[in-house]
Amino acid sequence: MKLLQIDEPAILIRINRTYNPSMSAEALYDYSRGRWKLNPVRAKKAKYGIAIYDGIIQEVYEIDDWHKAGTTESSRKPNDKSEFNSAESLIGRHEFEGKLASEEIRNKYLGKSLRHLFPKGSANPIKYANV
């Protein structure tokens, strides 16, 4: 079986600690896009944000811009998973604003496995592709 390769400049975001299969599209976007410790210069080179749960691509977003975490409109509430949403937890973190990627890009990646890029024991939830 051929392993999936990401061809576009992208940031791969593992959302294992916050994902819930019943979450709304808005919640999936808000938990995928934000509050990450990352290299903002490198992240700005990514055109797409790819949300991954258990090694499987859940959604693909086209990134418009990056901001300091907690400075953009979000459905996340401070008391919802407070370890990820408190003012203290936002220091030094970043979030993107964007929209769903084109149908062409989403069809190319949605539901596909990237488990090979996140080996067991890999702790960092962020990986970069082609940036």
pLDDT-derived band at 127, boundaries 50, 70, 90 = very high
Strands (E), 32-120: 34-36, 48-53, 56-68, 94-100
Q: Higher confidence at residue 84 or residue 3?
A: 3
Cα distances (angstroms) measured from residue 111 to each of 4, 17, 28: 11, 19, 15
pLDDT exceeding 70 applies to what percent of the chain? 91
The model carries a pTM of 0.90
Instruction: For 87-105, write each residue's pLDDT tens digit.
Output: 777 888 999 999 999 999 9
CB 48 within 8 A of CB 11: yes
* Residue 4 scores a pLDDT above 80: yes
Q: What is the pLDDT of residues 33-86, one digit of tens each?
A: 988 999 999 999 999 999 999 999 999 999 999 999 888 888 866 556 555 556
Q: Are strands 94-100 and 34-36 parallel, antiparallel or unpaired?
A: antiparallel
Query: What is the rounded CA–CA span in Å between residue 76 and residue 85?
Result: 7
Local structure of 66: helix, strand or coil: strand
